Amino acid sequence: MRFTFSTFVVLALTALTSHALVINGYNAAQFNRFTTDSFPSAPVENSNLLSGIVTGVNLDFSGVGWSTSDLRQGITMITPQHFIAANHFRPSGQVDFLNQDGVLKSYTIDGSGYQTLTTSPGQTADLVIGKLTTSILGSDNITFYPVPDSTLTTPDYIDRGVIVYGRGATSGDRSPRVGYNHIEQLALVSDTGTDETLVAVTEQGNVTGETQGQTGDSGSPSFVVFDGQLTAVGTHFAIGTIGDNPATFDSFLPAYFSQINSIVTGDGETLTQQALGADFTVLVPEVSHFAALSGLAAIALITIKRRRLL
């Protein structure tokens, strides 16, 4: 597996003021995971989620749970016991899932079970593997997500669509939100030379449904879609701007495949790999996504500032 990572000559990071995942043309009927005002006490899946926006994907989010003590914090299951999260924003305590039958199920995070990952230079990544105190029962009908086939390379990801999951508002209707975007670039982000994270970069354009992360979105997932299957590709950890356009940075799961696989197999679990397949289809008019970044040069690794999505 070979990934080509670039860095950006100019990467200005700015504070954004919205209190939930920003989605172009947002309305609750199309972009809220749960129906109005049902979350978190009695959540009901929104059957119209992304209706008229994308097609060709099974939107099964039963494997994305939330912390009952901090609704901003989500976890994404990659085995019946293991999940991915942001290292700087680790959830703890009880997590709830709405299973495929529409029933709430509760589990507990193993506070001592977190394991950090490192980049190839040996720096700590802003991606962590956590685990529950017990594996999710098969009878609970909660999915766990495959990860991309470890043989895939950079060209398999650039301009690939991603389904983006993020936090809801802090008051009123607090349902998590779901939109989409495209992977524009793979990059190695360094923070003052002490932390480095291999990331996938998405840039928010002006198309309905495209997203931009916000404070509190750290750890929420992005998925690529292979033949209709949600496939975990990363977790949000920082935001910034590229030129005049807002951008979101996701820890790029495939770059850490070997480390993650070693962790889960050590606990008797196995990562499920999803082969490259058809992308989902966007139903709203689009513009070219990669063209906006094609003029950026790949240069030697530099230290850049970025704002974490705490």
Q: Is the pLDDT of residue 18 over 80?
A: no
Q: Is the pLDDT of residue 281 over 60?
A: yes
**Highest mean pLDDT: which range of 17-21, 41-45, 122-126:** 41-45
> Cβ neighbours of residue 199 under 8 Å, at least 6 residues apart?
186, 187, 188, 189, 234, 237, 238, 249, 250, 251, 252
Q: Is the pLDDT of residue 104 over 90?
A: yes
In this prediction, residue 8 carries a pLDDT of 39
Distance of CA 265 to the CA centre of its chain: 23
In this prediction, residue 190 carries a pLDDT of 64
Q: Is the pLDDT of residue 296 over 80?
A: no
In this prediction, residue 236 carries a pLDDT of 87
Per-residue three-class SS string for the chain: CCCCCECCCCCECCCCCCCCCEECCCCHHHHECECCCCCCCCCCECCCCCCCCEECCCCCCCCEEEECCCCCCEEEECCCCEEEECCCCCCCCEEEEECCCCCEEEEEECCCCCEEEECCCCCEEEEEEEEECCCCCHHHCCCCCCEECCCCCHHHCCCCEEEEEECCCCCCCCCCEEEEEEEEEEEEEEECCCEEEEEEEEECCCCCCEEECCCCCCCCEEEEEECCEEEEEEEEEEEEEECCEEEEEEEEHHHHHHHHHHHHHHCCCCCCEECCCCCCEECCCCCCCHHHHCCCCCCCCCCCCCEECC
| pLDDT tens for each residue of 137-147 | 999 999 999 99
Average pLDDT over residues 220-244: 89
In this prediction, residue 194 carries a pLDDT of 47
Percent of the chain residues past pLDDT 90, beyond the cut: 55
Q: Which residue has the tokens 């705490």?
A: 310
Sorted by where each begins, the domain ranges of the chain are 22-308
Q: Is the pLDDT of residue 241 over 50?
A: yes
Percent of the chain residues past pLDDT 70, beyond the cut: 81
| pLDDT tens for each residue of 196-211 | 567 777 766 778 888 8
Q: What angle do CA 239, 272, 86 make, to 5 degrees?
A: 25
* CATH number listed for the domain at residues 22-308: 2.40.10.10
Q: Is the pLDDT of residue 14 over 50?
A: no
Model-level pTM?
0.86
**Torsion angle of C-alpha atoms 21, 25, 26, 29, degrees rounded to 10:** -150
Q: Model confidence at 269, in pLDDT bands (50, 70, 90)? A: very high
In this prediction, residue 9 carries a pLDDT of 30
> Cβ neighbours of residue 151 under 8 Å, at least 6 residues apart?
1
Compute the mean pLDDT over every residue in the chain, rounded to the nearest whole number.
Answer: 82
| pLDDT tens for each residue of 112-166 | 999 999 886 678 888 999 999 999 999 999 999 999 999 999 899 999 999 999 8
**Torsion angle of C-alpha atoms 190, 196, 200, 201, degrees rounded to 10:** -20
**Torsion angle of C-alpha atoms 245, 246, 250, 252, degrees rounded to 10:** 0
